[in-house]
Structure 1
Amino acid sequence: MAQKDDLPQKPQRGRPRDPERGRRILEAARSHFYTHGLERANVDAIAAEAGVSKMTIYSNFGSKEGLFEAVVRERTEHVVGGVAGVESLDPNQPQKALLAIGERFLALAREEDALGKFRSVYGAAGAQPEACRAFYREGPERLNGELAAYLRRADAAGTLKVRHPLQTASLFLSMFLGDGHIRGLLMLDMPDAKEERALVREAVRVFMSAYGTGV
């Protein structure tokens, strides 16, 4: 028998017109997804905590998976295309831009709620393929695409030499998903701020050595 959260809903996705209401919904959802995982999170409980009706959530996000996707999208916007936006990054100063992107990405990747989402999605792999696709689309794929767009601009400006922007963007972001990320997923001690700054600087140095033109 289908549970309430599995009932089909008309997908009219988008944040509620009331910004404050939208903020409450996303904050409540983020907390529940982190605490209970995607599969066990309950839309009724999220609605109650946000002070809205269950139908308000469904009418704006379509489903629990749609709400999860919106939470991931909101966190992604803080990395590339966040406060200033990828369009504001100067293609003539790739080292400065990449340092900023690396710091934002690392900060997001180290957040406990982000690590919690990774754990919940890994646990849902196979059982909830749509949710996993949504996480990939709004998280890794979107980040990679936005960074690739910047790399194309820097290549056109002659400050970087990038033949395969999507592949190159993936290589850059992958440098932040090593030992520290694994430790975070396993709930072990995390690198301190000094180690994190050194990681960003070294990642950008290696990247510029490979793709910089010296302009």
Structure 2
Amino acid sequence: MPKNETENDAAPTPRRGRPRDPVRYRRMLDAARRHFYAHGPKRASMGAIAADAGVSKMTIYSHFGSKDGLFEAEVRDRTERVVGGLSGAQALDAKQPQKALLAVGEQFLALASEEQVLGQFRSLYAAAGSQPTACRAFYRQGADRLINDLATYLRRAGAQGTLNIQRPRQAADMFLSMFLGDGHTRGLLMLEMPDAREDRALLHEAVRVFMAAYAKTP
């Protein structure tokens, strides 16, 4: 692998803020997703990703700084669909936690069942000792971000008096963990996945159990 694909100090400082060309930015992320899935973060080629996206390697480095930066951005882009509704102008209603948790749980279950996400889990689990930077990025922009953002929502719901939670991050972790059981294990092992009916049943039962534990009672 070429030197400038492995050493971060050879890459230019990545740009901050919103990309000037969102369409090109999306092409780079989509190309990265395909190559990281096919080859894993370590073996994926920045040259191949750039060619697939129709840009130069320097363009990718100018946006993301390094292959590690590109990988982290790709993971963050995936989790955005789950956490995007937890904050900002379109934040989920803290007065309706059951509805909010159904929405979050549905998006998280779909994300955790995607073959490309499962492929990243397999790749990183298999080579965790040799890819600490990629593993930290995957955790930081995946599990850690999802748990923290859901915990922030749970605090808001607590302030509204709809939930009674003493440890919001722990509660957020437990809620998301309910979707990483049998079906997720089957996916990691490339066995038959749960069907839509099973997923719906899991979603509604997880929310029911969570609300039974934490809903504010008069």
Q: Give the TM-score category using the shorter length.
A: over 0.9
Q: What's the TM-score, normalizing by structure 1?
A: 0.94
Contact 2:121 2:188 in 1 (8 A): yes
Q: Against the structure 1 CA distance between its residues 120 and 58, is the aligned structure 2 distance closer, same or farther, given a 3 Å change threshold?
A: same
Does residue 187 of structure 1 match 2:190? yes
Runs of 5+ unmatched residues, structure 1: none
Counterpart of 2:179 in structure 1 is 176
Percent identity among equivalent residues? 65
Amino acid at match of 2:120: K
Does residue 3 of structure 1 match 2:9? no
1:94 and 1:25 map into 2 onto residues whose CA distance is 36
Counterpart selection for 1:12 from 8, 14, 18: 14
Residues 62-73 of structure 1: pairs in structure 2 closer than 5 A:
62-73=65-76
Query: Secondary structure at 2:95's aligned position in 1?
Result: coil
Q: What's the TM-score, normalizing by structure 2?
A: 0.93
Counterpart of 2:98 in structure 1 is 95
Amino acid at match of 1:94: P
Counterpart of 1:45 in structure 2 is 48
Q: Against the structure 1 CA distance between its residues 13 and 111, is the aligned structure 2 distance closer, same or farther, given a 3 Å change threshold?
A: farther
1:32 and 1:137 map into 2 onto residues whose CA distance is 21
Counterpart of 1:74 in structure 2 is 77
Counterpart selection for 1:164 from 153, 163, 167: 167
Counterpart selection for 1:34 from 32, 37, 44: 37
Amino acid at match of 1:23: R
Give how far 1:117 is off: 1.4
Counterpart of 2:87 in structure 1 is 86
Counterpart of 2:138 in structure 1 is 135
CA displacement, residues 125-155 of structure 1 (integer Å, 9 cap, x when unaligned) = 1112111111111110000010000000111
1:207 and 1:31 map into 2 onto residues whose CA distance is 35
1:85 and 1:207 map into 2 onto residues whose CA distance is 17
CA displacement, residues 45-72 of structure 1 (integer Å, 9 cap, x when unaligned) = 0000111000111111011111000000
Query: Secondary structure at 1:72's aligned position in 2?
Result: helix
Contact 2:178 2:206 in 1 (8 A): yes
Contact 1:144 1:166 in 2 (8 A): yes
Aligned length: 213
Amino acid at match of 1:211: Y
Q: Against the structure 1 CA distance between its residues 134 and 11, is the aligned structure 2 distance closer, same or farther, given a 3 Å change threshold?
A: farther
Contact 1:109 1:115 in 2 (8 A): yes
Amino acid at match of 1:124: A
Query: Secondary structure at 2:165's aligned position in 1?
Result: coil
